[in-house]
Structure formats: structure tokens, C-alpha cells
């Protein structure tokens, strides 16, 4: 078991984006190394583990039973006054995954395709030299230099790989949700139903969620954002849990924190010898903060582009920019639209939100949540003078 | 300079994303701050979900 001196591709990070990119590169015949700095792929999670039916369809994969901890058939949206609208679907509308099983299996897929996957291997530094990248990697306590034609930065929200190779991925505070989550057990929940609570006082700039994992367990968390949040995400979470009857006496079996990039879409995600994927490239749905499918699709598109670049023997920014074009066509333009809806919602007060929930029905919410049409919401908002400006943003 | 309370840090990495000077690095040993790069702007501390970061003057 060893890391060699040269690969065609080095993928940094074995999350869904990195493992998928490594798999596609390896299937395309490229000598691929995928390193993961953590000792255990997929753990600790920074994720509520939800995957919707439409997201799974976009990924084009079948879910293995071992990946799924809960099938979801309903969703409930709560207004600040706790009035709720429940959406019931005919079959599975989504799943709550077990990330540490799911992520590790995707890494195994990459390895089966021929990539060398190495956990507990950390990128210490990288530079560009003679048209290649030269990486310093620490593996089992030893430092070594490995070169490659191209590097995939899929090392999450804390990625510095892109910055080391000249692409700035720094995020302004207002575009990154500060998240805290408990995986709880011995709680009273509705196991088939995911809950979303909107409340600008108790979870400002984000929302609170209950994502069930079995009949008595759930990921319970929230995201908050500046400039609205005044306390720590963890303090908001403790407060919220205390206020929910079915949760307040539960036990905590895992504590997670997370940073969710919910805006600042990157027009450019490539440089010479570099492609950025997943959270590192801010590939996250800007309204609900989901990123599993986004990263996986980013990984697919990155891998396909790299295989083409290898055939053309051209790893220049100009050649690789077809990855930008494909991602923007498939996901980015849609994200931009969804971002508008989020910006509309975040400027509303609790009173506005209560009022909206009074007027919308199940079908309206289903449509809005799918991003199908914002027209209905805009038509509603226009009825209230102080919301006209927000309505205009949606048109 | 930023002081990290490693007993609180859950290694989510958001602070690294907000740092305009690339002063923070999340390694397998925890969060590290390069004091030569840090300008004590406090963005990381404002982001931190658990209050693990403090600006040290």
C-alpha cells in the first residue's frame, strides 16, 4: 500500500463530490489518487443527511438500503406562530441517509473503478510547476511529494487548495450559514415526516429542522446567519429544542456543527491544472442548504471535463472552463433563481411569514418548494403594500 | 491573533471559509492560526457556531 510519485489526477477530499470525480476520472482511464485527511470517510458529518427524490434522480443513482436510515413521505412547514402546512406525498419523496455509510461506499466505488483512495492522507501544500501541480502530502506520518497533471479541490467548505492555486473561494459572512445540530434519540417525532420551522427570532436568517432517523431518533438542527443572528448557532439550537415538546427530554448521541455556503455562486471554478467541486465551490442549493446531490453532480461534470482535457493534453483554464459552462447550465442558473426566493424570504418579518402561511395551500407550497413557479407567491405578496418590493424581486 | 478553544471546536471549517487572509487552516490536529497572516478582523469568531474562537489583542 503506497502512494506513487506521479498521478494524472489528485482529488483532495473523499466526500460525494471528490469520490465521484475520482470514479469518473478512473473510469476514463486516468491514474487517479483520492486523498482524505480524516481517518474515517464520512464522519463526523456536517449535514442533516436529507436527499430529495428529485435530487436522487438528478444524481442518476439507486440508493442501497444500507445508505438509508429513514424514508420520508411527508413534509411540514411551520410558520413562526407554529401554524403548519403538511404536505403528503404518494410514495417516498426523500430519504435521510447515513452519511458515514453512504460516503464510504462512494469512495469504494471510486476505488473499484481503479482510483487509489487513501484516508488519513492530508494535503500540506501545492504549487504549480512546469505545467503540472506538485503536492506535498502527509501520509502515515511521512511527508512526500506527488505530482499530477491536475488537482480536484473537493476538500469542503474549509478548502484552501483552490486558494493555494490562485482561485479565491473566501465567503462573506452573510453568505454562509452557521449551523448546529444534535443527533437525538428517545424523542417523540413523526418518523415519516420532515419538519421545517421558519422563525426570524428563533432561527434568524435560516430555519430549524427535524429530519427523522428511525421511529425515535432524528437530526435536529438549525442554521443562522449574519447580520440577523445575535447569538451562537449552538445557543439558538439549545433554545429551540427546549421549546419543542417532543424533543426537550430527548438524549443527544452526536453533536455537529457546520458551515453552509448558501449564496455567492462562483462564476469561475477552474484555473490552470485545477477544478473545484462541492462545498469548496459553493455548490449548494441556496434555499435549503442541501449539497449532497450538488457535489455529486459537480464531481461528475469535473471528472468528465478532466477526461476530455487529458485526451486533448490541455489542462489550461481555457480548456477546463467547459466545466463552468456545464455546471452553470445544469445547476448554476437554477441556483441563481432560487437565491432570489431566499433573498425575498429573508427580508420578511415573523408577522409577514405568518400571514403568508395563512394564504398558501398545500399545492402552492409544493410548487414553490420545487422552484417551479414563484408567480403565485409574487401575486400574494403584492396584496400587502409592504411586501410589494419583495414581490417585484420574484418577478 | 485568534485563540482557539479546542475543547469547543467541532471542526466544521466555516471559519476558514470566512477568513479573508487565509490565516486559518483546519488540519487533522485541529484548527491552526498563522499569526503572521491574521489581522484580528474577527470574522471567524463571528461565524463560529459554538463560540470556540476569540480575538486576542
Spatial distance between the Cα atoms of A62 and B9, rounded to a whole number of angstroms: 36
Which of B14, B28, B39, B42 is most worth mutating to test chain A (most A CB atoms within 10 A of its CB)?
A: B14
Nearest to A14 by CA among A38, A50, A44: A38
B9-56: pLDDT as tens digits: 999 999 999 999 999 999 888 899 999 999 999 999 999 999 999 998
Residues on chain B touching A120 (C-beta within 8 angstroms): 28
First to last CA, chain A: 57
Instruction: Tell me the pLDDT tens digit for each residue of A167-214.
Output: 999 999 999 999 999 999 999 999 999 999 999 999 999 999 999 999
Is A60 contained in some domain? no
Is the pLDDT reported for residue A159 higher than 90?
yes
Strands A6-12 and A32-36: parallel
Domain count, chain A: 3
Beta bridge partners of A221: A181, A209
Instruction: Based on the fold, state whether residues A306 and A349 are members of the same structural domain.
Output: no
Strand, coil or helix: what is A164?
helix
Provide the mean pLDDT of chain A. Answer: 93
Residues A269 and A163 placed together within one structural domain of the fold: yes
Q: Would the CB atoms of A179 and B49 count as touching at under 8 Å?
A: yes
Are A290 and A329 in a shared domain? yes
Among A337, A358, A374, where does a domain finish?
A337
Which residue range is the domain that position B50 belongs to?
Answer: 2-55
Q: What is the pLDDT of residue A373?
A: 62
pLDDT of residue A392: 74
Same domain, A311 and A349: no
Q: Is the pLDDT of residue A217 over 80?
A: yes
For cell 491544472, name the residue: A273
Q: Do A354 and A205 contact (CB within 8 A), yes or no?
A: no
Which residues of A touch chain B, with CB atoms under 8 Å apart? 37-39, 44, 46, 120, 122, 156-160, 163, 169-173, 176, 178-180, 226, 232-234, 255-259, 261
Write down the pLDDT at residue A355.
85
Among A169, A172, A259, beta carbon nearest to B14 = A259
Indicate the number of domains in chain B.
1
In a domain, A65, yes or no: no
Residue of chain A whose Cα is closest to the Cα of B19: A170
Contact between A18 and A158 under an 8 Å Cβ cutoff? The reply is: no
Report the pLDDT averaged over residues A304-330: 98
Residue ending a domain, choose from A224, A259, A294? A259
Half-sphere exposure of A51 (CA within 13 A, CB side): 27
Q: Which helix (H) or strand (E) segment is B26 a member of?
A: strand B24-27
- Chain B residues closer than 8 Å to A44 by CB: 10-11
- Chains A and B form CB pairs within 8 A to the count of 85
The DSSP H or E segment spanning A390 is helix A388-394
**Taking residues A229-244, what's their average pLDDT?**
97
Q: What is the ipTM of this complex?
A: 0.96
DSSP-derived secondary structure letter, B12: -
For chain B, what is the total number of helices (H) and then of strands (E)? 2, 4
d(CA A327, CA A288): 19
pLDDT value of residue A114: 98
Q: Can you state the percent helix, strand and coil of chain A, rounding each to 5?
A: 35, 30, 35
- Residue A346 has a pLDDT of 85
Residues A149 and A113 placed together within one structural domain of the fold: yes
Question: A189 and A251 in one domain?
Answer: yes
Contacts of B28 in chain A (CB under 8 A): 37-39, 120, 122
- Same domain membership, residue A318 and residue A364: no
- CATH number, residue A79: 3.30.9.10
Does residue A52 fall inside a structural domain?
no
Distance CA A158, CA B27 (A): 10
Q: Of A317, A319, A302, give the one whose Cα is nearest residue A10.
A: A302
Determine, for residues B14 and A169 on separate chains, whether the beta-carbon distance falls below 8 Å: no
Boundary residue ending a domain (A259, A289, A319) = A259
What band does A371 get if pLDDT is binned at 50, 70 and 90? low
Over the range A83-99, which residues count as b (16 or more CB within 10 Å of their CB) and which as e?
eebebeeeeebbbbbbb
**Test the B interface: residue of A159, A170, A240, A291 with most B CBs within 10 Å:** A170
Residue A153 has pLDDT above 80, yes or no: yes
CB-CB: which of B12, B18, B46 is closest to A257? B12
Q: For the CA atoms of chain B, what is the radius of gyration? A: 10
pLDDT of residue A388: 77
The 3-class secondary structure across A5-69, one letter per residue, is CEEEEEEECCCHHHHHHHHHHHHCCCCEEEEECCCCCCCCCCCCCEEEHHHHHHHCCCCCHHHEE
Round to whole Å and give the CA distance between B16 and B36.
Answer: 16
A146: domain CATH number is 3.50.50.60
Closest partner residue to B26 (CB to CB) among A158, A169, A234 is A158
Nearest chain A CA: its distance from B36 CA (Å): 17
Distance, CA of A334 to CA of B39 (rounded, Å): 37
Sort out which chain A residues have CB atoms less than 8 A from B50's CB and list them: 180, 232-234, 257
What does the pLDDT look like over A117-136, one tens digit per residue? Answer: 999 999 999 999 999 999 99
What value does the mean pLDDT take over residues A31-49?
Answer: 95
Predicted model pTM: 0.95
Residues whose CB falls within 8 Å of the CB of residue A13, separated by 6 or more in sequence, listed in order: A34, A35, A36, A37, A153, A154, A155, A156, A159, A278, A280
Task: Tell me, yes or no, whether A108 and A222 share the same domain.
Answer: no
Q: With respect to residue A111, please indicate whether it lies within any of the assigned structural domains.
A: yes
Asked if A302 and A152 touch (Cβ cutoff 8 Å), the reply is yes
pLDDT at B57 over 90: no
From first CA to last CA, the distance across chain B in angstroms is 7
pLDDT tens digits along A360-369: 778 777 777 7
* Domain enclosing residue A83, as ranges: 73-96+184-259
At B19, which CATH number? 3.30.70.20
Task: Tell me whether residues B50 and A232 touch, CB distance under 8 A.
Answer: yes
Q: Which three cell numbers stand for residue A36?
A: 482524505
Residues A344 and A227 in one domain: no
Q: Is the pLDDT of residue A59 over 80?
A: yes
More confident residue, A343 or A222: A222
Q: Which residue from A120, A169, A259 is facing B12, i.e. has the nearest CB?
A: A259
Same structural domain for residues A198 and A288?
no
Instruction: Tell me if B49 and A176 make a contact (CB, 8 A cut-off).
Output: no
pLDDT digits (tens, 9 = 90+) for A239-284: 999 999 999 999 999 999 999 999 889 999 999 999 999 999 999 9
Domain membership flag for residue A208? yes
B positions 12-41 inside 8 Å of A (CB): 12-20, 22, 25-28
Residues in chain A: 395
Amino acid at each position: 500500500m503506497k502512494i506513487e510519485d506521479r498521478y494524472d489526477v489528485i482529488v483532495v477530499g473523499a466526500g460525494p463530490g471528490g469520490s465521484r470525480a475520482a470514479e469518473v476520472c478512473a473510469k476514463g482511464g486516468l491514474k487517479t489518487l483520492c486523498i482524505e485527511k480524516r481517518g474515517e470517510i464520512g464522519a463526523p458529518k456536517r449535514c442533516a443527511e436529507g436527499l430529495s427524490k428529485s435530487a436522487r434522480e438528478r444524481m442518476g443513482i439507486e440508493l442501497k438500503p444500507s445508505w438509508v436510515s429513514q424514508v420520508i413521505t411527508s413534509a411540514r412547514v411551520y410558520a413562526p406562530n407554529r401554524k403548519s402546512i403538511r404536505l403528503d406525498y404518494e410514495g417516498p419523496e426523500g430519504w435521510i441517509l447515513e452519511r458515514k455509510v453512504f460516503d464510504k461506499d462512494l469512495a469504494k466505488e471510486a476505488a473499484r473503478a481503479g482510483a487509489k483512495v487513501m484516508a488519513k492522507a492530508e494535503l500540506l501544500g501545492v504549487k504549480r510547476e512546469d505545467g503540472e501541480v506538485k503536492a506535498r502530502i502527509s501520509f502515515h506520518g511521512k511527508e512526500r511529494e506527488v505530482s499530477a497533471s491536475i488537482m480536484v479541490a473537493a476538500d469542503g467548505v474549509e478548502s484552501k487548495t483552490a486558494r493555494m492555486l490562485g482561485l479565491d473561494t473566501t465567503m462573506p459572512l452573510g453568505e454562509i450559514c452557521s449551523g448546529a445540530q444534535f443527533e437525538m434519540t428517545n424523542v417523540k417525532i413523526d418518523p415519516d415526516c420532515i419538519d421545517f420551522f421558519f422563525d426570524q427570532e428563533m432561527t434568524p436568517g435560516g430555519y430549524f429542522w427535524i429530519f427523522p432517523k428511525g421511529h425515535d431518533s432524528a437530526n435536529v438542527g438549525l442554521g443562522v446567519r449574519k447580520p440577523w443572528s445575535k447569538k451562537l448557532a449552538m445557543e439558538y439550537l439549545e433554545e429551540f429544542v427546549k421549546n419543542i415538546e417532543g424533543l426537550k427530554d430527548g438524549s443527544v448521541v452526536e453533536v455537529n456543527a457546520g458551515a453552509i455556503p448558501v449564496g455567492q455562486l462562483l462564476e469561475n471554478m477552474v484555473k490552470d491544472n485545477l477544478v473545484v467541486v462541492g462545498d469548496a465551490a459553493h455548490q449548494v442549493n441556496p434555499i435549503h442548504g442541501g449539497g449532497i446531490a450538488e457535489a455529486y453532480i459537480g464531481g461528475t461534470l469535473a471528472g468528465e471535463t478532466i477526461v476530455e482535457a487529458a485526451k486533448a493534453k490541455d489542462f489550461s483554464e481555457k480548456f477546463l472552463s467547459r466545466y463552468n459552462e456545464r455546471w452553470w447550465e445544469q445547476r448554476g442558473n437554477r441556483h441563481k433563481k432560487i437565491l432570489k426566493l431566499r433573498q425575498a424570504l429573508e427580508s420578511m418579518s415573523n408577522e409577514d411569514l405568518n400571514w403568508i402561511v395563512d394564504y398558501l395551500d398545500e399545492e402552492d407550497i409544493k410548487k414553490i418548494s420545487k422552484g417551479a413557479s414563484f408567480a403565485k407567491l409574487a401575486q400574494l405578496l403584492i396584496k400587502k403594500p409592504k411586501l410589494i418590493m419583495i414581490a417585484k424581486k420574484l418577478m | 491573533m485568534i485563540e482557539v478553544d479546542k475543547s469547543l471546536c467541532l471542526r466544521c471549517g466555516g471559519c476558514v471559509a470566512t477568513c479573508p487572509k487565509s490565516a486559518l487552516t483546519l488540519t487533522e490536529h485541529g484548527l491552526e492560526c498563522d499569526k503572521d497572516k491574521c489581522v484580528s478582523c474577527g470574522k471567524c469568531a463571528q461565524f463560529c457556531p459554538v463560540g470556540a474562537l476569540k480575538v486576542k489583542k
